[in-house]
């Protein structure tokens, strides 16, 4: 008898001895696709606003078109990811600030070693980055649409949208650079993002309040509660 697909995924969360699942294939796809679109937006923005790059690249109209379509597609991976139960569950975790998250922030400001800070599956820094990225992406899409179709709005709206779009782009670039820098400092975190799996020792050291076994049991329970289609 074949084990249901969801149950196989939950069993995979328990993994081999010392190895646990952190992200599913769907979450990996959302992260990678969103990252690619964001990097395209930042790269084309640099080509449009930095004269030295603009002269080297040329073809401004093509760069503008790529920038516009990459920007408008930015929310699509996350929206598609909502079809994944694991992605929705992690969104709930990212959207909730617990007492230990405030403690993590205080420890970070005091430059306490990361291994001594309390965090669940996601630490407070990751939650803040996720919230900022989601909000910034929506604002960038909104202001970008106003700039894309200038005849639909008044001059004051277009001026304000341009101001917000440009300065927020700088803030996003700084946040992305910081995100990449933090990831570069932790090879196993990058491995977890690429393969979906991390060592249990790493999880206990960096995310002591995360219980992957409880997460796996919850997945098993969700699979069992699903109505079964009678065999033909």
- What one-character DSSP code corresponds to residue 151? G
Stronger pLDDT, 1 or 216, i.e. the higher one? 216
Do the Cβ atoms of 16 and 195 come closer than 8 Å? no
Least confidently predicted of 1-15, 83-97, 198-212: 1-15
3-state SS assignment for residue 19:
strand
How large is the average pLDDT for residues 20-39? 93
Angle at 82 between CA 168 and CA 25, to 5 degrees: 95
What is the number of other CB atoms lying within 10 angstroms of the CB of residue 231?
Answer: 4
> Given this model, what pLDDT does residue 124 score?
92
Residue 120 has pLDDT above 60, yes or no: yes
Mean pLDDT, residues 90-107 = 91
Instruction: Say if residue 230's pLDDT is above 70.
Output: no
Alpha-carbon separation of residue 191 from 30, 71, 152, 160 (angstroms): 16, 28, 46, 41
The pLDDT of residue 7 is 42
223: pLDDT confidence band, cut at 50, 70 and 90? low
Is a pLDDT exceeding 90 seen at residue 113?
Answer: no
Assign 198 to helix, strand or coil. strand
56-95 pLDDT, tens digit per residue, is 888 889 999 999 999 999 999 999 999 999 999 999 999 9
């Amino acid at each position: 008898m074949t084990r249901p697909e969801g149950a196989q995924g939950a069993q995979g969360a328990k993994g081999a001895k010392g190895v646990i699942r952190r992200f599913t294939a769907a979450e990996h796809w959302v992260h990678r696709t969103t990252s690619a679109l964001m990097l395209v937006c930042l790269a084309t923005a640099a080509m449009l606003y930095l004269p030295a790059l603009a002269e080297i690249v040329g073809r401004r109209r093509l760069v503008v078109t790529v920038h516009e379509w990459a920007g408008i597609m930015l929310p699509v991976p996350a929206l598609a990811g909502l079809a994944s139960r694991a992605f929705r569950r992690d969104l709930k975790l990212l959207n909730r600030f617990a007492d230990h998250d405030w403690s993590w922030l205080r420890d970070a400001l005091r430059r306490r070693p990361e291994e001594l800070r309390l965090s669940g599956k996601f630490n407070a820094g990751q939650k803040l980055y996720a919230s900022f990225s989601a909000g910034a992406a929506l604002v960038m899409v909104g202001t970008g649409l106003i700039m894309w179709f200038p005849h639909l709005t008044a001059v004051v709206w277009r001026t304000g949208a341009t101001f917000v779009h440009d300065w927020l782009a700088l803030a996003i670039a700084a946040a992305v650079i910081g995100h990449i820098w933090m990831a570069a400092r932790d090879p196993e975190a990058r491995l977890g993002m690429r393969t979906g799996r991390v060592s249990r020792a790493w999880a206990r050291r960096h995310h002591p309040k995360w219980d992957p076994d409880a997460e796996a049991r919850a997945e098993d329970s969700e699979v069992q509660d699903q109505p079964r289609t009678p065999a033909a």
